[in-house]
């Protein structure tokens, strides 16, 4: 009888160790992600190498701007593209709807800056399911330069941003992307956005960039047109909703590297409600689940609160440490490293105080697993007034076309 229970206990201990050891390895390994992200962000961001004297001339650049509707920040966002310090570039404004209220704003800016070469394309061209690709297609076809920037309407450029992106486009690089961040704005939603993009998102983004993993986003990206044309042009990516991921994948398959620009992408979106920002995060989670399901399934267990709880339980079972002390120290050090990462990305004084940071940080860490489960439960995506369903591999099926209601044409739906 004694030997039977001894055997049973030994079997249970072995099973417990088989669970706890990988958990502790994951917990310890993720601190490496923190350190890689911090060190690479400190090395990469806010460098001014592009301002040094340059022997070869700056190449011409075509900027593709997809537009739909108006928001309170759009005028200043668009005007920043007319005031950049770069010798040769053209702006292609691509507007889907002939009645879009953004058209007078674009015409006003074009008239205000006659020295900047611009073209306006209205109506788009149906080449796939992705409405952004359809909108951009006429501008892409008319582009006269080999370097293409795809830049969303929420992006605001600094005077030297384009120069920085082109400087990072070396001979071996096919795509230069900016890590998404946010402009300083008022309101708690802007605090929440800045905390997300400057902590959790920055950590993963910079670690993946350092390791050569495809993490490119299409908010602001500079690409070589030649390899895209070889792949079939923009129309070849019209079947995907996350075209940015497949842009980058195409360059990698052709032997090019991806590079992160030294200046983060300054978003100035008109998000006024927490629910609106959460919808964006849920939509991005749905895209990741469809494109890289094996990687995405690990997302919840790499969040601070859940990973800390699992690590504390494993450490208690294997090392007999105090579970409460372990968990609280885990959260404290995670919090401090996130504050450090945000400070590096911001590169200056933050627009909010430490108390607001604590509240926003705790809120984001709390709802992150919930948003992931919501994305897993419902693969349908509502985006730009259209409704889409994702298939495995990232291919998208259109459920209803992206036609804005007549009474909502003056607002941008995020």
- In order of their start, the domains of the chain are 58-179+217-272 (3.90.550.10)
SS3 370: helix
pTM summary value: 0.89
∠ CA 359-364-369 to the nearest 5 degrees? 145
Q: CA 139, CA 65: separation in Å to the nearest integer? A: 9
Which residues have a Cβ under 8 Å from the Cβ of 236 and sit 6 or more positions away?
Answer: none
- The runs of H, that is alpha helices, within 113-146 are 131-142
Among the listed residues 71, 100, 164, 244, the single catalytic one is 244
Active-site residue 71, yes or no? no
**Per-residue pLDDT in tens (0 to 9) along the chain, 414 residues:** 445 445 445 545 556 667 888 999 999 999 999 999 999 999 999 999 999 888 899 999 999 999 998 888 899 999 999 999 999 999 999 998 899 999 999 999 999 999 999 999 999 999 998 999 999 999 999 999 999 999 999 999 999 999 999 999 999 999 999 999 999 988 899 999 999 999 999 999 999 999 999 989 889 999 999 999 999 999 999 988 889 999 999 999 999 999 999 999 999 887 778 888 888 888 888 888 888 777 777 888 899 999 999 999 999 888 889 999 999 999 999 999 999 999 999 999 998 999 999 999 999 999 998 888 888 888 788 776 678 877 777 777 777 665 554 444 444 333
Listed residue (388, 366, 411, 80) closest to 271, CA to CA: 411
Length of the chain, in residues: 414
∠ CA 147-149-153 to the nearest 5 degrees? 165
Q: CA 121, CA 96: separation in Å to the nearest integer? A: 8
Q: CA 408, CA 392: separation in Å to the nearest integer? A: 32
Q: CA 43, CA 49: separation in Å to the nearest integer? A: 12
């Amino acid at each position: 009888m004694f030997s039977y229970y001894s055997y049973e206990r030994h079997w249970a201990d072995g099973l417990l160790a088989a669970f706890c050891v990988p958990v502790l390895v994951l917990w310890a390994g993720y601190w490496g992600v923190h350190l890689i992200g911090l060190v690479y962000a400190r090395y990469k961001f806010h460098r001014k190498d592009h301002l040094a004297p340059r022997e070869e001339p700056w190449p011409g650049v075509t900027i593709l701007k997809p537009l739909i509707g108006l928001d309170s920040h759009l005028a200043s966002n668009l005007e920043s593209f007319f005031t950049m310090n770069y010798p040769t570039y053209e702006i292609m404004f691509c507007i889907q709807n002939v009645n879009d209220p953004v058209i007078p704003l674009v015409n006003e800016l074009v008239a205000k800056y006659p020295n900047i070469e611009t073209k306006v394309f209205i109506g788009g061209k149906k080449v796939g399911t992705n409405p952004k690709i359809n909108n951009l297609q006429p501008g892409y076809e008319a582009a006269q330069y080999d370097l293409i920037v795809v830049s969303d309407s929420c992006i605001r450029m600094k005077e030297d941003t384009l120069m920085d992106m082109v400087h990072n486009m070396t001979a071996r690089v096919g795509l230069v992307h900016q890590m998404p961040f946010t402009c300083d704005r008022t309101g708690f939603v802007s605090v929440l956005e800045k905390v997300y993009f400057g902590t959790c998102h920055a950590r993963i983004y910079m670690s993946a960039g350092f390791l050569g993993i495809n993490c490119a986003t299409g908010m602001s990206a500079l690409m070589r047109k030649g390899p895209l044309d070889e792949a079939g042009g923009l129309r070849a990516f019209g079947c995907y909703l996350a075209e940015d991921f497949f842009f980058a994948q195409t360059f990698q398959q052709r032997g090019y590297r991806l590079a992160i620009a030294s200046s983060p992408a300054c978003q100035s979106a008109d998000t006024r409600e927490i629910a609106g920002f959460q919808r964006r995060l849920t939509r991005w989670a749905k895209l990741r689940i469809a494109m890289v399901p094996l990687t995405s399934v690990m997302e919840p267990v790499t969040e601070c609160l859940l990973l800390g709880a699992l690590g504390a339980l494993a450490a208690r079972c294997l090392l007999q440490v105090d579970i409460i002390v372990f968990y609280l120290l885990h959260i404290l050090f995670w919090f401090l490293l996130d504050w450090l990462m945000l400070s590096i990305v911001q590169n200056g004084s933050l627009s909010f105080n430490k108390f607001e940071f604590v509240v926003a940080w705790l809120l984001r860490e709390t709802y992150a697993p919930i948003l992931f489960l919501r994305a897993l439960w419902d693969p349908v995506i509502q985006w730009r007034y259209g409704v889409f369903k994702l298939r495995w591999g990232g291919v998208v099926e259109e459920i209803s076309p992206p036609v804005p209601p007549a009474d909502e044409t003056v607002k941008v739906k995020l």
